Amino acid sequence: MRPSGRNLSDMRPISIETGVMRHAEGSCLISCGDTKVLCSATIEDKAPPFLKGSGQGWVTAEYGMLPRATNSRNRREAAAGKQSGRTQEIQRLIGRALRAGVDRRALGERQIVIDCDVIQADGGTRCASITGGWVALRLAVNKLMKAGIVTTDPIMDHVAAVSCGIYAGQPLLDLDYAEDSEAGTDGNFIMTGAGRLIEIQMSAEGATFSRPEMNQLLDLAEGGIAALVAAQKAAI
């Protein structure tokens, strides 16, 4: 039995509330169980300098965690004067994942910045950030298209992410913190709505894993992604 009482293939309850920030071009609050992330999209009228004259746009992301998002206070990174390596790695992952679902030429020479702020953490914050970040991105692009600024939809497909792992010898879908912190194998699966793989992060956290076990986790992830995409569609 999982600590949460869920079955091996059960997701945590998912909710996505849109329009939660007045000034952002797109925003949502995504909840995956007790993990809650505020996601917003900001449209900037010019692309980064390295894309000047290319006719292509850019999607990037920033990620942060509020001091009391966890059970003990984390010092603000701004107070330390630099971002942690973990923060940098996660926000690069979010940006890579979301760009994989965008036709950057159709977007034109502009940038969309996705901000993901974790207000409560219980495992899977990077996955929730990608899933919610896509919703914020979709809403921002909808505004561009409604205004006639972009005429061809640059979003090619949904993008969502879910964690899977091996806990107490069993493959599990959508790990919460109690499971993630004790998992022998931990993985994050990022996929499109059509089931195409964008990125897989897997590592042995205390026990190696076999090819059949990896296949089991991928099967679980596919089911989880389908549930997340359904929640994205309902939200928008």
State the binding site: 86, 124-126
CA dist., res. 162 & res. 114, Å (int)? 19
The residue to which tokens 């970040």 are assigned: 133
Measured between alpha carbons, how far is residue 163 from residues 34, 82, 225 in Å? 15, 28, 10
CB proximity list for 208: less than 8 A, separation 6 or greater = 185
Question: Phi and psi dihedrals of 65, rounded to 5?
Answer: -130, 130
Annotated binding-site ranges for phosphate: 86, 124-126
β-pairing verdict for 159-167 and 111-120: unpaired
